[in-house]
């Protein structure tokens, strides 16, 4: 038996963040991970997916080089998928090495193996027992499956396969099932890389049906369609049929029944908590009917005192940065301090498509449903000088505010929305008045001017809008 102050079960973002934060507070920490530290985000999700999205951005930019006065004397560029995957793997490897080194420098004991909770709240790993005055479960998640769509990793894949592909070429035709964050991002990659892409979504809206304000999501939907993505909303997909050269995908929409043949199918309908066989029952840790560990979100403590859970295994937004924040809450609680709970209604969300989508706080519809008297202003990126220089004018800033009151929601679509949205995040979380934000100076020419211009309009006046 080995004793520590904190034992962390799972080495994904929530797990390694908890370990690093606890160690920085002077606690002794053991981190149990059956694979590589970094979890889905580093090895199969955020980082590799965004690397491929950047490869698609570079390819798209080069294809439009002539518009910016740069000629390509050898003709049209071609995607080099193996090179893109090598670069993706190199970035992941470098980050993994850095993370491993940081854990070592913080004197975190990394234990290789499958960990399970025991009846007394400890963690058992290959016959050894690790005990801490606090245990933090960070079990992560796995791709959600659909009956009739057996994943084989070749013709029918998930995002886990797509981000770890060693294929020497891209498929010529692909069907992406699911138009949420993951599906939209991969549809953007494949479309920009020249793959004939069909996006099938069961809900009313084919692109980002849940999350951002509809005005913002619709800009992305129009952009994908204009670039060649074949988007079908309210699509009910039937059982897949393998053929000699690909997969037949039958689906029904309000317009009728169709069947398309593609080389590959990407199933991207979300992820499930990986809470099977972690010893939750033995430890008295309650799990709900969907597989999520039940926690008190003010402390992240489970039904078992001294056992906490964070990240994808709890029913909170499945975002790496949310897992980071939850890890801080859990460790602060173990330290006996007063943790500051995560305000889940105001976390920043980003979709790294082209164009990027980002938001925080309420949509216009949510604010009205909550009973607010709402004032809304929007500003298009079409007239923004910096956006025109970049050649990326598909975009919109939308601010939702209480009438004569603070900002309730910030929604943006356009170039570098992922970086620009944090001004909106601060405004929402500090309950800033839009007119006050509008008085702040934004550099010209800049993309951020669109935010300032939108905020100014709440005063009843405007500059260029």
In this structure, of 1-5, 130-134, 195-199, 377-381, the range with the lowest mean pLDDT score is: 1-5
Going by pLDDT thresholds of 50, 70 and 90, the confidence category of residue 372 is very high
Report the top-level CATH class of 156-269: alpha beta
User: What's the whole-number mean pLDDT along residues 448-460?
Assistant: 94
Amino acid 348: pLDDT: 97
Amino acid 186: pLDDT: 97
Preceding amide of 445 cis, omega within 30: yes
pLDDT at 304 over 90: yes
Task: Choose among 364, 246, 274: nearest CA to 44.
Answer: 274
**Which option is the CATH number for 355-459: 3.90.1410.10, 3.30.390.30, 1.25.40.10, 3.40.50.300?**
3.30.390.30
pTM of the model: 0.95
The DSSP H or E segment spanning 413 is: strand 407-414
Cβ count within 10 A of residue 351: 25
User: What's the whole-number mean pLDDT along residues 197-217?
Assistant: 97
* Residues carrying an active site annotation: 444
pLDDT tens digit string along 60-88? 999 999 999 998 887 788 999 999 999 99
Distance, first Cα to last Cα, the chain: 67
pLDDT tens digit string along 418-452? 999 999 999 999 999 999 999 999 999 999 999 99
**Gyration radius of the chain over CA positions:** 24
Q: Name the average pLDDT for the chain.
A: 95
Amino acid 465: pLDDT: 66
In this structure, of 10-24, 164-178, 298-312, the range with the lowest mean pLDDT score is: 164-178
d(CA 429, CA 424): 9
Cβ count within 10 A of residue 465: 14
Going by pLDDT thresholds of 50, 70 and 90, the confidence category of residue 349 is very high
pLDDT at 302 over 70: yes
Task: Choose among 375, 282, 294, 297: nearest CA to 342.
Answer: 297
Going by pLDDT thresholds of 50, 70 and 90, the confidence category of residue 371 is very high
Going by pLDDT thresholds of 50, 70 and 90, the confidence category of residue 166 is confident
Amino acid 167: pLDDT: 87
In this structure, of 31-45, 63-77, 153-167, the range with the lowest mean pLDDT score is: 63-77
Q: Would you call 204 helix, strand, or coil by DSSP?
A: coil
pLDDT at 464 over 90: no
User: What's the whole-number mean pLDDT along residues 226-240?
Assistant: 97
User: What's the whole-number mean pLDDT along residues 128-132?
Assistant: 94
> Where do the CATH 3.50.50.60 domains begin and end in the chain?
2-143+272-344, 156-269
d(CA 381, CA 184): 21
Say how many CA atoms lie within 13 Å of 224 toward its Cβ. Answer: 33
Superfamily of domain 2-143+272-344: FAD/NAD(P)-binding domain (3.50.50.60)
Going by pLDDT thresholds of 50, 70 and 90, the confidence category of residue 386 is very high
pLDDT at 1 over 80: no
Amino acid 404: pLDDT: 95
pLDDT tens digit string along 143-155? 998 888 889 999 9
pLDDT at 236 over 80: yes
pLDDT at 460 over 90: no
> Where do the CATH 3.30.390.30 domains begin and end in the chain?
355-459
Say how many CA atoms lie within 13 Å of 115 toward its Cβ. Answer: 28
Residue position matching structure tokens 């020497």: 168
Contact 141, 274 (CB under 8 A): yes
User: What's the whole-number mean pLDDT along residues 220-233?
Assistant: 98
In this structure, of 145-149, 207-211, 343-347, the range with the lowest mean pLDDT score is: 145-149
> Which residues contact residue 120 at a Cβ distance below 8 angstroms, ignoring those fewer than 6 apart?
283
d(CA 120, CA 117): 8
Amino acid 195: pLDDT: 97
Amino acid 463: pLDDT: 84
Q: Per the structure block, which two tokens stand in for 122?
A: 């400890």
């Amino acid at each position: 038996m080995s004793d520590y102050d904190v034992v962390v079960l799972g080495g994904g973002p929530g797990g390694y963040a908890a370990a690093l934060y606890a160690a920085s507070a002077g606690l002794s920490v053991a981190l149990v991970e059956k694979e590589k530290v970094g979890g889905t985000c580093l090895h199969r999700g955020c980082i590799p997916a965004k690397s491929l999205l950047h490869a698609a951005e570079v390819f798209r930019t080069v294809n439009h080089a002539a518009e910016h006065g740069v000629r390509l004397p050898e003709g049209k560029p071609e995607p080099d998928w193996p090179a893109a995957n090598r670069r993706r793997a190199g970035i992941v490897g470098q980050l993994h090495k850095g993370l491993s080194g940081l854990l070592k420098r913080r004197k975190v004991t990394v234990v290789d193996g499958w960990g399970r909770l025991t009846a007394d709240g400890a963690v058992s790993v290959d016959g050894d027992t690790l005990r801490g005055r606090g245990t933090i479960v960070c079990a992560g998640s796995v791709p959600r499956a659909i009956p009739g769509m057996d994943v084989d990793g070749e013709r029918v894949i998930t995002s886990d396969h797509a981000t770890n592909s060693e294929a020497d070429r891209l498929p010529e035709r692909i069907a992406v099932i699911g138009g949420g964050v993951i599906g939209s991002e991969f549809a953007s990659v494949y479309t920009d890389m020249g793959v004939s892409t069909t996006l099938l979504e069961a809900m009313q809206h084919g692109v980002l049906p849940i999350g951002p304000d509809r005005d913002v999501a619709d800009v992305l939907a129009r952009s994908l369609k204009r670039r060649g993505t074949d988007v079908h909303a309210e699509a009910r997909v039937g059982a897949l049929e393998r053929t000699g050269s690909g997969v037949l995908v039958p689906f029904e929409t309000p317009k009728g029944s169709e069947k398309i043949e593609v080389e590959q199918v990407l199933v991207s309908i979300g992820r499930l908590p990986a809470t099977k066989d972690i010893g939750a029952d033995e430890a008295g840790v309650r799990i709900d009917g969907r597989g999520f560990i039940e926690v008190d979100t003010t402390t992240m403590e489970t039904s078992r005192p001294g056992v906490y859970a964070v990240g994808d295994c709890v029913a909170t937004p499945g975002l790496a940065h949310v897992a980071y924040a939850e890890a801080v809450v859990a460790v602060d609680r173990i330290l006996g301090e007063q943790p500051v709970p995560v305000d889940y209604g105001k976390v920043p969300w980003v979709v790294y498509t082209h164009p990027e989508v980002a938001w925080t706080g309420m949509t216009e519809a949510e604010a009205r449903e909550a009973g607010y008297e709402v004032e809304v202003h929007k500003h298009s990126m079409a007239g923004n000088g910096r956006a025109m220089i970049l050649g990326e004018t598909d975009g919109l800033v939308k601010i939702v505010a209480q009438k004569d009151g603070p900002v309730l929601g910030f929604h943006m679509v356009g170039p570098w929305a992922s970086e620009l949205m944090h001004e909106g995040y601060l405004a929402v979380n500090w309950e800033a008045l839009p007119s006050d934000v509008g008085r702040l100076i934004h550099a010209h020419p800049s993309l951020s001017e669109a935010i300032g211009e939108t905020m100014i309009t709440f005063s009843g006046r405007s500059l260029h809008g």
